[in-house]
Amino acid sequence: MADLAPAKQDRSRATRQRLLETTIRCLAQYGWEASTVGFIAAEAGISRGAIQHHFRTREALILGALEHMFEERAALLDALPEPSETGAARVHAVVAGLVETIGGELFRAALQVWTVAAADPALRVAVVPLEKRFARGVHRRAVRLLGADDADPEVRALIQATLDMARGLALAGVLTDDSRRRSRVVRAWSAQLAAALSAA
C-alpha cells in the first residue's frame, strides 16, 4: 500500500497541473465569462468533483491559475539566455526577450483576470499582491540581464519604463498581429535605453 501513495500523489499533481494549464488556455482563448468551472472541467477532461478536490470555488481556481501563470512567466524570464553581446546589441537582445516573454497566451489570460478584478474589490484584493510580487521579480531579472545599476534612481526608472512598454506592446498585440510595429518600437527604444544606460 505504501508504494501506491507516491503514485496517487503524482496523479494528483498531474491533474492539478493539467487543470491550471487548461484554465489559463480557456481564459486566454474564450475569456472570463466562458471560463466556468463546468467549461474548464470539460476542456481538461476532469470531473467537476475532481476540480473541487483541488479548488473549492471558481475564484480559488482562477487565483491558482493566475499564480501558476506568474510562475510560468517567471520561469520563461529565467530561461532567457545571458546575452553574449555587449553594449547596444546586448540591450536590444534583452529588451526583445523581455517583450516576447511578457506577451503571449499567459498575458492574454492574465488580462482577463485583471479586467474583472478592476471592478471586483474582493478579487482585486487577492490579485494585487500576486501582481506586485511578479512585477518585482521581473524587475530583478531585467536588472540582472541588463547588468544595470538599480541603485541609480534614473536607471531604475528606465528599467520600469522598459517593462511598462513591454506590457503596452503585449496589449497592442491582443487583437491584431502587431509584430512588425513591435519590432520597430523595440529597436528604437533599445537604442535610447542603451545610450541612457551608458551615460548613467
Domain boundaries, the chain: 4-199
Note the pLDDT of residue 82: 77
Beta carbons of 133 and 70 less than 8 angstroms apart:
yes
Residues contacting 63, CB < 8 A, separation 6+: 126, 127, 130
Beta carbons of 94 and 85 less than 8 angstroms apart:
no
Distance CA 30, CA 167 (A): 21
Note the pLDDT of residue 5: 67
> Model-level pTM greater than 0.85?
no
CATH level 3 topology of 4-199 = Tetracycline Repressor; domain 2 (1.10.357)
Secondary structure of 49-70 in HEC code, one letter for each residue: HHHHHHCCCHHHHHHHHHHHHH
pLDDT digits (tens, 9 = 90+) for 40-92: 999 999 988 888 888 988 889 998 998 888 888 888 878 877 777 788 999 99
Q: What is the mean pLDDT of each run of 10 residues along the chain (200 residues)?
A: 64 88 94 93 90 88 88 81 83 92 88 92 91 89 90 94 94 86 94 91
